[in-house]
Amino acid sequence: MTLMTDYRQSFLGSARARHNRFQDLENTRQWLKSLQEQAEQSVVRVPLAELEQWFFAADTGDLCHRSGKFFSITGLHCSPVARPGAWWEQPVINQPEIGILGILTREFEGIRYFLMQAKMEPGNVNKVQLSPTLQATYSNYSQAHKGRLPPYTQYFLDPAARVITSQLQSETGTRFFRKFNRNILLDLDSDPELLPGFRWLTLFEIQTLMAEDDMVNMDSRSVLSNIAYTSDETDNEGATIFLHSATSSTKGAMHTIDTLRQWLAQMRLKHALDTSLIPLNSVRDWVRDDWGIRHVSRNYFEVAGVRVQASDREVPLWFQPLLRHDGLGLAGFLCAETGGVLHFLLQAKPEPGIVGSVEIGPTVSLFDYQWRSEHVGGVHFLEHFQEPPADAILHSSIQSEEGGRFWALRNRFVVVRMPDAAAIEHPENFAWMTLSQLQQLSQGESLVNSEARTLLACLRLFQ
Amino acid sequence: MTLMTDYRQSFLGSARARHNRFQDLENTRQWLKSLQEQAEQSVVRVPLAELEQWFFAADTGDLCHRSGKFFSITGLHCSPVARPGAWWEQPVINQPEIGILGILTREFEGIRYFLMQAKMEPGNVNKVQLSPTLQATYSNYSQAHKGRLPPYTQYFLDPAARVITSQLQSETGTRFFRKFNRNILLDLDSDPELLPGFRWLTLFEIQTLMAEDDMVNMDSRSVLSNIAYTSDETDNEGATIFLHSATSSTKGAMHTIDTLRQWLAQMRLKHALDTSLIPLNSVRDWVRDDWGIRHVSRNYFEVAGVRVQASDREVPLWFQPLLRHDGLGLAGFLCAETGGVLHFLLQAKPEPGIVGSVEIGPTVSLFDYQWRSEHVGGVHFLEHFQEPPADAILHSSIQSEEGGRFWALRNRFVVVRMPDAAAIEHPENFAWMTLSQLQQLSQGESLVNSEARTLLACLRLFQ
């Protein structure tokens, strides 16, 4: 077995690399913004019956693609195990294929760069965001002998590839049924041709862009969340408060990693959900009309049909369903210093599409934040995100969810600092942990949910 | 958050507890053997058309239960991603429900005991084996308000239950499609009523019974594999060579745990399988006749129908399909001392039913050992398991696979000691690790396959 290169040091170096040998950050920002403005992509809502290549299965009412591939919209019945008699039903995206999300990295002059792509997705409010080098599926791979592959696929197929991380992670468990993506970081020693639409960026640049709205897509954030850091404490000029939490050893941590694992295990048992797929036409309280499938209350989301015309895709015109959301969600994280290290309050959050029922999520997460905050009480810690003092906000940005499946689904992603962790009473389904511990738990595959992984990816370690 | 009790010490104490306050081991052995001999269970093979409540779906040919519950036999298409154009197809068990495998434990006079059940399963060659306290599904749970629950279910539903471990683990990935079970160990402080068919046993006793053939079932082994130990090095009389490997810190280990994780990540990428469920009637090279579904070559396995009559089950008569295997499989582990610690050579093994494609498995594992060893070469390290010297065999027993789905599927489980780890050249898809490291990787949920988990459960730490 070859010895593992210490990538942690290399990632830290990239996180403080303000200089990019290819172009400066302002140039990249303008490049991305001009692509967003000039992108030729039209997304027009159409009646569901006009979705070419899609049909409602006669027996189940499921919305399926004629090829039998891609995804389908089916029904889900869900019962919380601990509350006999309680249940709900909803439409869900069923896509048994494993997606591949891969980023190529390499060092130039001692600094690690990440190959990012400016990619259009129909659900993006601003059309184009930074995506991983490769977004594909295994069936794209295994059809390698048949035809055109997405750019850079061959590097991920190379048996000699140096894999830095390769983690199975879940997608949004409130909308997908047991969907997994393989998140890959590769280390190259060759210098591949730089194709149009791709740029080499440092982690410093990516983290800076993530402090802005809607620049870095969900898939990129998921892959980048697998990065672990180590700090040599020698060149920490410009370090933010997050650096120490992301690189700290277990010393100073409120709980051991064993205790956190046991806590999650307990929560996974207590908050287990019994789920089963059911025909879409049997889902109670959801109705279908010509234009969509929606809850009788018009809350939650709507299954809508769109016609997409794009200039830069292999297929210039296609039809597909998208899950449409109104308003803005909230992914809120409370943090506080204790034992000299910044800790975050994470929640053991049940979601019906998660195999293990429960993953680690934000302190507060609400897809329908505006509606809920006006109409519903009883969400733990929500009050801390309603008009927090300006100096307590350590991060605030709007981030988009998967633009290939969701139409304008966006969360405000907020980190609020509290004076004292010990002073905050919390129910048993919450736990304080450092960023480094969250990262360690995330290595276990499908223990940390997509919003919490955004936390790992988004926070700037250097300014 | 309540502080984690140090269960590792308690488990070690149980592993050396030769004395059982309730009955001695010989008594339990005789009890189990007499149940095996006297059990009133008849399993009779019947034509598939006579499986009451089961039917072949008109469009797909899938073998399904009329309730829509339990499991179905469907088809699987599989392509190794790294070998474009290569593929195979096979029948597979599809059971999206998460199973619950739970063992109650508690301390009596300072020694931890495990509540084991003598349970009949139709596929067991000897009818009755030791099973977990509870084998159920979440839908059993969520129907709690409707009727009779399996014994001891209420302990697993208790919100105040002290959960020691609760891990999602895969089932045999060559036969099941993405089947998971939640493996649970609970710590009780009450003394529940002891029902007929149940006994409190120490780990010493269970490990002793696992050195014998077909006494402890697959589900028990899976749950017990989640046990981690710590050694105080004070009372190690009678300790076997396995103890140090199961309790060693990273000191002396050939690789760090980070290196092992990275190795597995690499193997999961390189040996990824692209899988999709297909109609059973479209599976190539498999044929169906009145009595079964089998490969044209008559190798692998056969889907057979059985009528089961049992005296001790809620349902005294039922019909079901079972996967029938001829002959005996092999799960072989090479081990060798290096750095003062016993290391095991584990294989990154691709299996089509595993979400992540690859899990850590035995050095050698063959379901069709006899046939393969006679007819096929090219299996790495197989030669070390063919007539090894007697003093090199550290463990040899026959263990049964899941008797609710497999008919007489059994593996010979062998541990062979080699003189020197460094002298053994191995391909990159093998890695040396200690039992303690294997246990640590197994905490990550679905990283260690069922045969390798048997290794963690089976080996006696004390004699």
- Domain end, chosen from B171, B202, B233, is at B233
The Cα A32–Cα A43 span in angstroms is 20
Q: Does residue B145 have a pLDDT over 60? A: no
Q: Which of A24, A203, A236 is nearest to A114 (CA)?
A: A203
Find the residue in B nearest to A264 (Cα). Answer: B166
Q: Is A191 domain-assigned?
A: yes
Q: Is A307 domain-assigned?
A: no
Same domain, A215 and A266: no
Measured in angstroms, the CA of B144 and the nearest CA of chain A are apart by 6
CB contact under 8 A, B98 and A157: no
Q: Which of A451, A450, A461, A1 is nearest to A228 (CA)?
A: A461
Return the bridge partners of A415, or none: A333, A395
* Spatial contact of A397 and A212, defined as CB atoms under 8 Å apart: yes
Q: Which residues of A touch B141 (CB under 8 A)?
A: 81, 84, 272, 274
- Judged by a CB distance cut-off of 8 A, whether residue A215 touches chain B is no
- Domain end, chosen from B176, B211, B233, is at B233
CA gyration radius, chain A: 22
* Spatial contact of B413 and B315, defined as CB atoms under 8 Å apart: no
Predicted confidence (pLDDT) per residue in B397-424, tens digit = 999 999 999 998 999 999 999 998 888 9
Q: Which of residues 287-346 of A touch B (CB under 8 A)?
A: none
pLDDT at A305: 97
- Judged by a CB distance cut-off of 8 A, whether residue A256 touches chain B is yes
Q: Which residues of B touch A443 (CB under 8 A)?
A: 261, 444
Same domain, A148 and A249: no
CB contact under 8 A, A180 and B355: yes
Q: Is B321 domain-assigned?
A: no
pLDDT at A85: 83
At B226, is the secondary structure helix, strand, or coil?
A: coil
Residue owning tokens 């898809």: B429
The Cα B269–Cα B82 span in angstroms is 9
- Judged by a CB distance cut-off of 8 A, whether residue A249 touches chain B is no
Q: Is A305 domain-assigned?
A: no
CB contact under 8 A, B277 and A98: no
Q: Which residues of B touch A258 (CB under 8 A)?
A: 4
Predicted confidence (pLDDT) per residue in B43-52, tens digit = 999 999 999 9
- Judged by a CB distance cut-off of 8 A, whether residue B422 touches chain A is no
Find the residue in A nearest to B266 (Cα). Answer: A163
pLDDT at A144: 45
CB contact under 8 A, B142 and A428: no
Residue owning tokens 């048949």: A146
Q: Which residues of B touch A262 (CB under 8 A)?
A: 4, 163-165
Same domain, B219 and B261: no
Which residues, 6+ apart, have CB-to-CB distance to B283 below 8 Å? Answer: B75, B76, B77, B89, B90, B91
Q: Is A298 domain-assigned?
A: no
pLDDT average, residue stretch B331-357: 94
Q: Which of A435, A345, A337 is nearest to A382 (CA)?
A: A345
Facing residue for B180 by CB, picked from A258, A261, A355: A355
| Helix, strand, coil in percent for chain A, rounding step 5 | 25, 35, 40
The Cα A163–Cα A144 span in angstroms is 20
pLDDT at A374: 60
Same domain, B453 and B407: yes
Distance of CA A274 to the CA centre of its chain: 24
Domain with residue B251: its CATH number is 3.90.79.40
Q: Does residue B287 have a pLDDT over 90? A: yes
Facing residue for A141 by CB, picked from B81, B137, B182: B81
pLDDT at B141: 64
CB contact under 8 A, A270 and B161: yes
The DSSP H or E segment spanning B88 is: strand B88-94
Same domain, A421 and A333: yes
- Domain end, chosen from B233, B263, B290, is at B233
Return the bridge partners of A104, or none: A186
CB contact under 8 A, B163 and A262: yes
Tokens of B406: 């497999």
The Cα A209–Cα A217 span in angstroms is 11
Predicted confidence (pLDDT) per residue in B16-42, tens digit = 999 999 999 999 999 999 999 998 889
The Cα B262–Cα B431 span in angstroms is 11
pLDDT at A3: 44
- Reported ipTM: the value is 0.76
* Spatial contact of B373 and B385, defined as CB atoms under 8 Å apart: no
Measured in angstroms, the CA of B105 and the nearest CA of chain A are apart by 15
At A231, is the secondary structure helix, strand, or coil?
A: coil
- Judged by a CB distance cut-off of 8 A, whether residue A428 touches chain B is yes
- Judged by a CB distance cut-off of 8 A, whether residue A279 touches chain B is no
CB pairs under 8 A between A and B: 159
Of the candidate ranges A20-34, B49-63, B118-132, B263-277, the one whose mean pLDDT is the lowest: B263-277
pLDDT at A326: 81
The one-letter amino acid code at B168 reads L
- Total number of domains in chain B: 2
- Judged by a CB distance cut-off of 8 A, whether residue B5 touches chain A is no
**Res. B3 pLDDT band, cuts 50 70 90:** very low
Same domain, A206 and A251: no
Find the residue in B nearest to A429 (Cα). Answer: B1
Q: Which of B301, B300, B303 is nearest to B73 (CA)?
A: B303
Same domain, A380 and A420: yes
Q: Is A81 domain-assigned?
A: no
Q: Which of B295, B370, B294, B301 is nearest to B330 (CA)?
A: B370
Give me the sign of the Cα torsion angle A384, A388, A392, A397: positive
CB contact under 8 A, B166 and A265: yes
The Cα B152–Cα B1 span in angstroms is 26
Q: Which residues of A touch B262 (CB under 8 A)?
A: 4, 163-165
CB contact under 8 A, B141 and A4: no
Q: What are phi and psi of B418, to 5 degrees?
A: -105, 155
Find the residue in B nearest to A168 (Cα). Answer: B356
Tokens of A220: 């990129």
pLDDT at A228: 92
- Judged by a CB distance cut-off of 8 A, whether residue B155 touches chain A is no
- Judged by a CB distance cut-off of 8 A, whether residue B393 touches chain A is no
**One pLDDT digit (tens) per residue for chain A, 463 residues:** 444 558 999 999 999 999 999 999 999 999 999 999 998 889 999 999 999 999 999 989 999 999 877 899 999 999 988 887 889 999 999 998 888 999 999 999 999 999 999 999 999 999 999 999 999 877 666 554 455 788 998 898 887 888 898 889 999 999 999 999 999 999 998 899 999 999 999 999 999 999 999 999 999 999 999 999 987 767 788 999 999 999 988 778 999 988 898 899 889 888 989 899 999 999 999 999 999 999 998 888 999 999 999 876 667 889 999 999 888 899 999 999 998 999 999 999 999 999 889 999 999 998 766 555 566 667 899 999 988 999 999 999 999 999 999 999 999 999 999 998 888 999 999 999 999 999 999 987 789 999 999 999 999 999 9
Facing residue for A1 by CB, picked from B144, B263, B447: B263
Same domain, B345 and B393: yes
pTM: 0.86
The rounded mean pLDDT for chain B is 90
pLDDT average, residue stretch B100-124: 96
Same domain, A268 and A181: no
Same domain, A262 and A200: no
Same domain, A360 and A227: no
pLDDT at B377: 63
Measured in angstroms, the CA of A26 and the nearest CA of chain B are apart by 35
* Spatial contact of A114 and A200, defined as CB atoms under 8 Å apart: yes
Same domain, A199 and A255: no
pLDDT average, residue stretch B302-327: 88
Measured in angstroms, the CA of B370 and the nearest CA of chain A are apart by 31
pLDDT at B2: 47
- Judged by a CB distance cut-off of 8 A, whether residue B9 touches chain A is no
Facing residue for B166 by CB, picked from A3, A96, A269: A269
The Cα A446–Cα A358 span in angstroms is 10
Facing residue for A166 by CB, picked from B138, B258, B266: B266
Find the residue in A nearest to B82 (Cα). Answer: A157
CB contact under 8 A, A277 and B178: no
- Judged by a CB distance cut-off of 8 A, whether residue A184 touches chain B is yes
Measured in angstroms, the CA of B165 and the nearest CA of chain A are apart by 6
Residue-number span of the structural domain to which B353 is assigned: 245-274+326-458
Which residues, 6+ apart, have CB-to-CB distance to B183 below 8 Å? Answer: B101, B102, B165, B166, B167, B168, B169, B222, B223, B225, B226
Return the bridge partners of B12, or none: none
Q: Return the higher-pLDDT residue of B68 and A273.
A: A273
Facing residue for A166 by CB, picked from B85, B87, B269: B269
- Judged by a CB distance cut-off of 8 A, whether residue A4 touches chain B is yes
CB contact under 8 A, B276 and A85: no
Q: Which residues of A touch B4 (CB under 8 A)?
A: 256, 258-259, 262
- Judged by a CB distance cut-off of 8 A, whether residue B79 touches chain A is yes
Q: Return the higher-pLDDT residue of B168 and A249.
A: B168
Q: Which of A415, A272, A267, A408 is nearest to A332 (CA)?
A: A415
- Judged by a CB distance cut-off of 8 A, whether residue B429 touches chain A is no
Q: Is A167 domain-assigned?
A: yes
Q: Which of B436-440's residues contact partners 24+ apart within 8 Å by CB, and which partners?
A: B436/B228, B436/B229, B436/B245, B436/B246, B436/B247, B436/B248, B436/B249, B436/B253, B437/B250, B437/B253, B437/B255, B437/B257, B437/B260, B438/B344, B438/B346, B438/B360, B439/B225, B439/B227, B439/B228, B439/B246, B440/B228, B440/B257
pLDDT at A145: 44
Q: Is A90 domain-assigned?
A: no
CB contact under 8 A, A356 and B144: no
pLDDT at B249: 80
CB contact under 8 A, B98 and A355: yes
pLDDT average, residue stretch B92-111: 93
Interface test with B, best of A134, A229, A269, A441 (most B CBs within 10 A): A269
